């Protein structure tokens, strides 16, 4: 991977939701992974991933779960629980998480678990290596 990766939600696999004509994906009120993937190789280092997400309907009480995994989801690299009230409604806001890769990995996936009765729209996923951004120092 280069220093930065951006993908429309509709290009990522999912177990729930509906792809929209603009490249985003809307949840359908059913629990599941609104996205997982992109199953890419990453070298050791610090990374940040983020999902541009907005709330569009029902607000259940269970949180969303963002995580980074590899080895078919068996090795967790990072995780974050997100209360649905933190997700903006008018525009997609960035829900982000830092994680660390300690060895060469060939199948990193970023996953967003959406519980029942939650309606959100996922615009895109971003992933970048934090130490590659000289302008942040």
In a domain, 103, yes or no: yes
Q: 136 in helix, strand or coil?
A: helix
In a domain, 57, yes or no: yes
Q: Does 133 have pLDDT greater than 90?
A: no
Domain total in the chain:
1
In a domain, 136, yes or no: no
In a domain, 84, yes or no: yes
Provide the residue range defining the domain that includes 55. 4-131
Instruction: Write the CATH number for 55.
Output: 2.60.120.260
Write the DSSP symbol of residue 3.
Answer: S
Per-residue pLDDT, 3: 79
Per-residue pLDDT, 4: 87
* Distance between CA atoms of residues 127 and 47, nearest Å: 7
Confidence of residue 57 (pLDDT cuts 50, 70, 90): confident
Contact 130, 48 (CB under 8 A): yes
In a domain, 117, yes or no: yes
Determine if residue 27 is left, alpha or beta; phi over 0 gives left, psi from -120 to 50 gives alpha, anything else beta.
beta
In a domain, 19, yes or no: yes
C-alpha dist (Å) from residue 89 to 22, 55, 71: 18, 5, 34
Minimum mean pLDDT among 14-23, 28-37, 51-60: which range?
51-60
pLDDT in tens, 102-122: 999 999 999 999 999 999 999
In a domain, 26, yes or no: yes
Confidence of residue 2 (pLDDT cuts 50, 70, 90): low
């Amino acid at each position: 991977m280069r220093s930065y990766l951006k993908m429309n939600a509709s290009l990522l696999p999912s177990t729930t939701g509906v792809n929209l004509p603009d490249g985003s994906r809307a949840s359908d009120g059913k629990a599941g992974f609104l996205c997982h993937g992109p199953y890419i190789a990453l070298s050791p280092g610090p990374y940040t991933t983020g999902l541009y997400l907005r709330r569009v309907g029902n607000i259940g009480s269970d949180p969303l779960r963002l995580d980074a995994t590899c080895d078919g989801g068996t090795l967790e690299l990072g995780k974050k629980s997100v209360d649905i009230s933190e997700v903006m409604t008018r525009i997609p806001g960035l829900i982000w998480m830092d994680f660390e890769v300690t060895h060469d990995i060939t199948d990193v996936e970023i996953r967003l678990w959406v519980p029942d009765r939650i309606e959100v729209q996922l615009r895109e996923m971003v992933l970048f290596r934090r130490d590659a951004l000289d302008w942040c120092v």
